[in-house]
Amino acid sequence: MSNTTKSKVALAFSGGLDTTVCVPLLKEEYGYDEVVGVTVDVGQPAEEFDEADETAEALGVDTFVVDAKAEFADLCFDAVRANADYQGYPLGTALARPVIAQAILDVAIEEGCDAVAHGCTGKGNDQLRFEAVWRGSDLEVIAPIRELGLTRDWEVEYAAEHDLPVDGGNGGDWSIDTNLWSRSVEGDALEDPNYVPPEDIYEWTATPGDAETELVELTFEEGYPVALNGEEMDPVELTETLNDLAGKHGVGRTDMMEDRMLGLKVRENYEHPAATALLTAHEALEGLVLTAEERQFKQQVDAQWSQKAYEGLVMAPLVDALEGFIATTQERVTGTVTLKFEGGQCRPVGRDSEFATYSESAASFDTETVDGIAQEDATGVAKYHGFQTRLANKAKEATKQTTEALPDGGSEQ
């Protein structure tokens, strides 16, 4: 660090225990003269911004709030085109972190900071996702919680001793992360895989079965969701509206054991009603318009895209290459899908597209000849189908009979 200029660090700031403790530590332990807090809006509740603002004011920290909801929603809709999930749940936090990290880095550079810092521990994924973005710059990267080996109990005690404006955490039993696309709940009793979570951990999803069955129609253009029940909406509005609509039916809950990047297995609970509905509808529309070969190969492409997104590496060259294939397939993924919300479930019950790779007359049991193809034309195919299997089984049976005919059941002396 230069001795002639005042050093400054930009901190990913939420106003919670971890980032609040980081403020004095960055000064005491790392020697920075000024800490700038950066809060990035990717769809968190308003009260979280109020908390961050109040905490920053009490700490005497200047803060910047960056609205990145639109950028984040665009990335989420890219994820829809890639049918993105990780071990069965729609990606949410993983998609948000690179957006947040880039916004913080932009502020840090604009404000002439020497470093960027986060309050992540050394056990989670977010440290890797933030730093994958930051380490592409010339700024120093600091992780006080990880580097100093701090525990939550130590942080609570430190905050009390230094009269820091925190009440020991998020004000509840759970560690919660919320954005436009998903809400994650973990920690405390939920760390026991056998603990049955109470209904009050959920905020976005009602108890399944409490609402009457409902049909909704989603419209897609080239794989992107563009309208709900015929009303065009931008990605943010569509996601927020569908979160409320699907959430009333209890759609979009996941309780799982997740394998993190560092190898740890953790209990996670997620809510993602809009994401569940959009991914379900998109995959149903692909089933109508894509060929069997395209669908089969795209599963591999989607899996690779999802893995890189989980790692926070949506900027990787591989992702660019994968999206080239995805974009080509999505040229025909235009149409509508009708979903049924019922008892916490979301399932497609209708699909329509001008690009359908489907012939109703060819598939119907009530037609005889279509495009010059008749039922009896399948006879030759049926004769060849399984031909090698039948040959192999005959050869195996013949070998078995020969062996059994030998003395001592086939044992040669």
What are the backbone dihedrals phi and psi of residue 115, each rounded to the nearest 5 degrees, phi first?
Answer: -155, 165
252 marked as binding residue:
no
Q: Which of 175, 255, 260, 295 is catalytic?
A: 175
Q: Is 12 annotated as contributing to ligand binding?
A: yes
Q: Exposed, middle or buried, 338 (CB in 10 Å: 0-12/13-18/19+)?
A: middle
Phi, psi of 99 (to 5 degrees): -65, -45
Distance CA 293, CA 312 (A): 29
User: Among 344, 44, 39, which Cα is nearest to 184's?
Assistant: 44
183 known ligand binder: no
Output DSSP code: residue 253. Answer: E
Q: Does 13 show up as a binding residue in the annotation?
A: yes
Cβ atoms 99, 93 nearer than 8 A: no
Query: Which is catalytic among the residues 81, 97, 253, 351?
Result: 97
For residue 97, give both structure tokens.
Answer: 């972190």
Is 119 marked as a binding-site residue? yes
DSSP secondary structure letters along 186-248: ESGGGGSTT----GGG-SSSPPTTSS--EEEEEEEETTEEEEETTEE--HHHHHHHHHHHHHT
Is 172 annotated in a binding site? The answer is no
Q: Is 270 annotated as a binding residue?
A: yes
Judge whether 126 is annotated as a binding position.
yes
18 assigned ligand-binding residue: yes
With beta carbons less than 8 A apart as the criterion, state whether 265 and 257 touch.
Answer: yes
Q: Does 271 show up as a binding residue in the annotation? A: no
Q: Does 89 carry a binding-site annotation?
A: yes
Residue 17 in marked binding region: yes
318 annotated as belonging to a binding site for a ligand: no
The angle at the Cα of 364, spanning 359 to 368, to the nearest 5 degrees, equals: 100
Catalytic residue among 41, 85, 126, 177: 126
Would residue 97 show up in a list of annotated catalytic residues for this protein?
yes
**Residue 15, marked binder:** yes
18 an active-site residue?
yes
27, with CB counted inside 10 A (0-12, 13-18, 19+), is middle
- Clarify whether 253 is annotated catalytic: no
Q: Give me the catalytic one of 18, 41, 78, 85.
A: 18
Q: Which two tokens stand for residue 405?
A: 């005919």
Binding site for L-aspartate: which residues? 121, 125-126
Binding-site residue ranges:
12-20, 89, 119, 121, 125-126, 129, 175, 184, 258, 270
Residues designated as active site: 18, 97, 126, 175
- From the annotation, which residues make up the binding site for ATP? 12-20, 119
Residues making up the binding site for L-citrulline = 89, 125, 129, 175, 184, 258, 270
